[in-house]
Amino acid sequence: MKPTLALMAALALAVPAFAQQSGWIGVSITEQPDRGVLVRSVEANSPAEKAGIKANDVITQFNRQEVTGVLQMQRMVNETPVGRAVDVVVRRDKIEQTLKVTSEKSPFPGLQIHAPDFHFPNVDSAAIRDRIITSVRPLELTQSVTVSNPGVRVDSLTAQLRDFFGVKAGEGVLVASVDGNSDAAKAGLMAGDVITAVGGSLISTPQDFNREVRSKTSAFTLKVIRNKQEREIRVE
């Protein structure tokens, strides 16, 4: 699926006092249709720039692990100790090359928020980001699943995010992107919604969502939380 609604995470953010040795390489990345993540920008004088990473590179491996998405890449960077050199495989002009990147301590003082930055039309994405940043302490989103039909990408929720979105404990997945031409988009599903049930079955993880959606052979109903209010969306 080629997402029209990009989910972006800026890795060049501040580091909290309780995790000051978390790694930083100074890139902003976004999802892209093929394997890996697309580099949107590189901080000047950052580890990434020193290593030769450039905007529009596609990072396919980090520290010898396949890169499957923005959130996974963000987690791997954060978990890399300051001062550790790791191999980063990038694809540039259809050619892959391996670069050596040495993680550094973030130069930005203050609090780090692992907050997704949603970009989609007709919605104030900055407002969503700012609401999360001002309301929630450091977030970890570690699981992500893309379901080509109905054209939805969902991410797991932490307890903090469930509280923020007004979702019951242990329930729900966050809609990261919706294909603009998909049945889900036509039904009104939006990035930033939280899906708590598919066809009456409660959803707690991306794997739950994937299983329930793939089991449907006809139209089904999604139970969704939006602006802390529950609604139903029927996907034909």
- Weakly modelled stretches of the chain, pLDDT under 70: 1-22, 107-149
Range of 35's domain?
A: 7-102
Segment (H or E) for 95: strand 95-102
Q: Is 17 in the same domain as 49? A: yes
Closest listed residue to residue 57, CA positions, set 32, 39, 42: 39
Flag whether 113 is in a domain. no
Burial 158-187 (b: 16+ CB within 10 A, else e): beebbebbebeeebbbbbbbbbeebbbbeb
Q: Is 229 in the same domain as 129? A: yes
Q: Is 137 in the same domain as 54? A: no
Q: Is 199 left (phi over 0), alpha (psi -120 to 50) or beta?
A: left
Q: Is 83 in the same domain as 174? A: no
CATH number at residue 188: 2.30.42.10
- How far apart, in whole angstroms, are the C-alpha atoms of residue 226 and residue 166? 9
Q: Is 147 in the same domain as 78? A: no
Q: What pLDDT score does 84 carry? A: 93
The number of domains in the chain is 2
Flag whether 1 is in a domain. no
Q: Return phi, psi of residue 164, to 5°.
A: -65, -45
pTM: 0.46
Q: What pLDDT score does 21 carry? A: 58
Q: What pLDDT score does 95 carry? A: 94
Q: What pLDDT score does 221 carry? A: 92
Q: Is 95 in the same domain as 127? A: no
Q: What pLDDT score does 86 carry? A: 95
Q: Is 167 in the same domain as 221? A: yes
Flag whether 183 is in a domain. yes
Q: Is 78 in the same domain as 149? A: no
Q: What pLDDT score does 61 carry? A: 94
Q: What pLDDT score does 91 carry? A: 95
Q: Is 89 in the same domain as 154? A: no
**Token pair of 26, please?**
């100074």
Q: Is 73 in the same domain as 159? A: no
Q: What pLDDT score does 169 carry? A: 86
- How far apart, in whole angstroms, are the C-alpha atoms of residue 230 and residue 46? 43
Q: What pLDDT score does 59 carry? A: 95
Residue where a domain terminates, one of 102, 135, 150: 102
Q: What pLDDT score does 108 carry? A: 52
Q: Is 94 in the same domain as 136? A: no
Q: What pLDDT score does 19 carry? A: 38
Q: Is 73 in the same domain as 134? A: no
* Greatest Cα-to-Cα distance within the chain, rounded to the nearest angstrom: 53
